[in-house]
């Protein structure tokens, strides 16, 4: 009897492992225990490494479903309980009730305290009503670290989904980390991060269903979430959302010395990013390069103003972005 019980237990365990493995590795080799009709797979290969990083970076995903007239049907949401990425085997299940959806729009990273979407009403709202935007903040100042925002969509489909079909949505990352280092030219001189004001100004806090910045997007003021002094340098990091090629002068990076309101740096960030685009990306359109890159390191080399008798004022002499030098400069850069 004991042997029989053990055989039964072992058999049950083997079946459980088989079903689990089948579901994770194949999805169409065995029955889905959640009775989903079809599935959605996500890829994030739109980066400078040209490899899929979805399983490394995305922990919450919202998919908005639309019919053949671009009328809103429903939203599907999934997120990991602990905020870790989904993993390589992740698929989102699509219930049979929504098998007639024709267009899918996905936003990753819609955490309500950081980034929100429009209130969509089934059978009433349309594709043009959908947007995602930064959560309201006083004076549009963002000075905290936020989850990355991702966007992806499918072209309108012509036929209904079949049982066990998989729809693939490729994502674009609408998010950057910007690290700024103030480095004195003379190693004997030191700077204090608290003596400076850092801000990146951009009207890029709201996106439509096509991942375009909306015409009514207000200017946001991205400020550091991290500030520190390190071996005489002042170092800060900040987040910003998607930088657009056609923003022109609206994407401005500023560093101001607080004591006398001296502008140490005030640059059109787009121009400098374009100047540092490596030759291997020479055939890549500028907007694609902006979308594939997600980190920018800006080095500002500074020295004391020789014309200031009190030697209290700093001036920028050289700028780097991602370790490439732009050019020498005698005074504050604009």
Please say whether the beta carbons of 106 and 63 come within 8 A: yes
Please say whether the beta carbons of 117 and 107 come within 8 A: yes
Is residue 157's pLDDT more than 70? yes
203, 209, 210, 211: CA torsion to nearest 10: 40
Quick: pLDDT tens for 195-247: 999 999 999 999 999 999 999 999 999 999 999 999 999 999 999 999 998 87
- DSSP track, 275-330: HT--GGGTTS-HHHHHHH--EEEEEEEEEE-TT-TT---EEEEEEEETTEEEEE-S
CB half-sphere exposure, 122, CA atoms < 13 A = 7
Contacts of 155 (CB under 8 A, 6+ apart): 103
Using DSSP, how many helices (H) and how many strands (E) does the chain show?
A: 4, 21
**What average pLDDT does this structure show over 17-46?**
64
Distances in whole angstroms, Cα of residue 257 to Cα of each of 3, 33, 143, 243, 309: 80, 61, 18, 26, 17
Buried b (16+ CB within 10 A) or exposed e, 44-74: bebbeeeebbbeebbbbbbbbbbbeebbbbe
pLDDT of the residue at 308: 67
User: Which tokens go with 76?
Assistant: 């599907």
Instruction: Provide the pLDDT confidence category of residue 310 given band limits of 50, 70 and 90.
Output: low
Q: What SS3 state is found at 255?
A: strand
More confident residue, 331 or 103: 103
**What average pLDDT does this structure show over 105-120?**
96
Length, in residues, of the chain? 334
C-alpha torsion sign, points 187, 192, 193, 197: negative
Phi, psi of 5 (to 5 degrees): -65, -40
Is residue 23's pLDDT more than 70? no
Contacts of 13 (CB under 8 A, 6+ apart): none
User: Which tokens go with 175?
Assistant: 């998010």
Is residue 325's pLDDT more than 50? no
Q: What SS3 state is found at 188?
A: coil
More confident residue, 7 or 83: 83
């Amino acid at each position: 009897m004991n042997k029989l019980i053990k055989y039964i237990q072992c058999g049950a365990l083997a079946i459980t492992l088989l079903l689990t493995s089948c579901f994770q590795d194949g999805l169409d080799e065995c029955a889905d225990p959640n009775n989903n009709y079809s599935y959605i797979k996500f890829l994030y290969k739109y980066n400078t490494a040209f490899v899929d990083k979805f399983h490394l970076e995305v922990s919450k995903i919202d998919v908005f479903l639309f019919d053949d007239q671009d009328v809103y049907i429903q939203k599907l949401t999934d997120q990991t309980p602990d905020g870790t990425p989904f993993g390589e085997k992740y698929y989102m299940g699509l219930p049979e009730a929504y098998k007639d959806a024709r267009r899918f729009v996905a936003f990753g990273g819609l955490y309500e305290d950081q980034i929100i979407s429009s209130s969509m009403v089934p059978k009433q709202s349309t594709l043009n009503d959908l947007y995602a935007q930064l959560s309201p903040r006083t004076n549009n100042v963002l000075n905290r670290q936020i989850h990355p925002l991702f966007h992806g969509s499918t072209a309108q489909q012509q036929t209904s989904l079949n049982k066990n079909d998989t729809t693939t949505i490729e994502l674009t990352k609408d998010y950057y980390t910007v690290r700024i280092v103030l480095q004195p030219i003379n190693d004997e001189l030191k700077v204090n991060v608290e003596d400076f004001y850092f801000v990146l100004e951009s009207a890029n806090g709201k996106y439509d269903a096509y991942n375009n910045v909306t015409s009514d997007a207000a200017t946001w003021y991205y400020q550091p979430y991290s500030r520190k002094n390190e071996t005489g340098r002042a170092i800060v990091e900040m987040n910003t959302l998607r930088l657009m090629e056609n923003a022109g002068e609206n994407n401005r990076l500023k560093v101001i010395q607080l004591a006398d309101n001296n502008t140490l740096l005030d640059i059109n960030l787009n121009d400098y990013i374009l100047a540092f685009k490596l030759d291997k990306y020479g055939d890549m359109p500028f907007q694609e390069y902006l979308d594939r890159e997600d980190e920018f390191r800006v080095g500002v080399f500074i020295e004391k103003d020789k014309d200031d008798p009190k030697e209290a004022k700093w001036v920028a002499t050289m700028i780097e972005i991602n370790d490439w030098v732009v050019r020498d400069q005698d005074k504050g850069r604009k």
